[in-house]
A and B are shown apart, each in its own frame.
Chain A
Amino acid sequence: MKISVNGKMHNVAAHNVAHVLEELRFDGTMVATAVNGEFVPAVSRAEQCLAEGDRLEVLRPMQGG
């Protein structure tokens, strides 16, 4: 299944957010996630199914003003 992760297309085997994070080797404890512009809380990642063409955003803390 092809999905966009942080703006780049990835071919993933996993079908939910939690498993995609594992597959792409993100540290799930250090990030926040959103799918198609909607926030996905950490506790809901395993239930949040992904479909072809979905846009997953994985954000981490960063310096800011």
Chain B
Amino acid sequence: MKLYDVTLKSRLMLGTAQYPSPAILARAIEASGAEIVTASLRRESGGSGGSGGAGEGFWSLVRDMGLWVLPNTAGCHTVKEAVTTAHMARELFGTNWIKLEVIGESDTLQPDVFGLVEAARILCDDGFAVFPYMTEDLVVAERLVAAGCRVLMPWGAPIGSGRGLNNPFGLRALRAHFPDIPLVIDAGLGLPSHAAQAMELGYDAVLLNTAVARAGDPVRMARAFAQGIEAGRAAFEADPMEARDMASPSTPVVGKAFLA
């Protein structure tokens, strides 16, 4: 899999928030096989020599693991906020990758697709590699590609909901419409079977956080997701049979004894 000229073996991208401890986060990343992890920016407390607390420990941990870091603009509700945050992230994390979130609705954390397209255009023109968090809307996808996005990240379901793929039909249409653009399901997955379903639809990768971090055993769940993704991808490459409405006997009828 290739995202913005970076070749990756893993199709799992992992969020780094909400883990019980940095040690469990590190073990979960290892168990998942993820090569890309997401990160964010938050206010520094300052004073006493600038104690970074958990954030500082987290960042040194991620750096030491040699991972690709995908900073996000989580919590941004306007184009200006998102663009400024992206610039701050580029300097702080030393990468032009940005997971672009422009949130439009607080209850569902649904992206504001109008602001998203506008921010994507500004950032792509400024040399960013934009990973847009979007709905599965085909027209929005076209606008994002026209703006310069070379990866699309439709949601599966609202962030943190664990509901899986709410609209498989729309996601299948998106895949069919953009056969050559890497597509990543971002958000809403709760179970490895959801990730497997995304892979079976032909999606290139999934990005998840809460499903692993909030599991009773995040390390085992990380491994389970990796296995689900591997199984789903193998199934996609194996060209699944067509579903049908009526039964079709798998055992040959010819040669059956007449015993009635």
Q: Do these two chains really belong together in a complex? A: yes
Residue-by-residue, is A1-44 near B (CB-CB < 8 Å gives 1, otherwise 0)?
Answer: 00001110000000000000000111100111110011101100
Within 8 A of A (CB), among B18-63: 18-19, 25, 38-50, 52, 54-56, 58-59
Residue numbers in A under 8 Å from B43 (CB-CB): 6-7, 57-60
Question: Is B220 an interface residue, CB under 8 A from the partner?
Answer: no
Instruction: Determine if B39 and A30 form an interchain contact, defined as CB atoms under 8 angstroms apart.
Output: no
Contact partner of A62 (CB less than 8 A), chosen from B39, B50, B81, B87, is B39
**A–B Cβ pairs within 8 angstroms, 29 of them:** A7-B43, A25-B48, A25-B50, A26-B46, A30-B50, A31-B50, A32-B91, A57-B43, A58-B44, A60-B56, A60-B59, A60-B92, A61-B41, A61-B52, A61-B56, A62-B41, A63-B19, A63-B55, A64-B17, A64-B39, A64-B40, A64-B71, A64-B74, A65-B15, A65-B18, A65-B38, A65-B40, A65-B159, A65-B209
Instruction: Determine if B46 and A25 form an interchain contact, defined as CB atoms under 8 angstroms apart.
Output: yes
Q: How many contacting A-B pairs (Cβ < 8 A)?
A: 115
Nearest CB in chain A: distance from B195 CB, A: 15
Residue numbers in B under 8 Å from A41 (CB-CB): 87, 91
Instruction: Determine if B71 and A31 form an interchain contact, defined as CB atoms under 8 angstroms apart.
Output: no
Distance of A21 Cα from B43 Cα, bound (Å): 13
Distance of A3 Cα from B76 Cα, bound (Å): 23
Please name 11 further chain A to chain B contacts, defined as beta carbons within 8 Å, in addition to the given A30-B56, A65-B18, A65-B210, sorted by A numbering: A30-B44, A34-B84, A41-B87, A59-B44, A60-B59, A60-B92, A61-B39, A61-B41, A63-B16, A64-B72, A65-B17
A60, closest chain B residue (CB): B44
- Secondary structure call for the B interface: mixed
Contact partner of A63 (CB less than 8 A), chosen from B17, B92, B93, B160, is B17
Nearest CB in chain B: distance from A18 CB, A: 14
Residue numbers in A under 8 Å from B210 (CB-CB): 65
Residue-by-residue, is B227-254 near A (CB-CB < 8 Å gives 1, otherwise 0)?
Answer: 0000000000000000000000000000
Residue numbers in A under 8 Å from B16 (CB-CB): 63-65
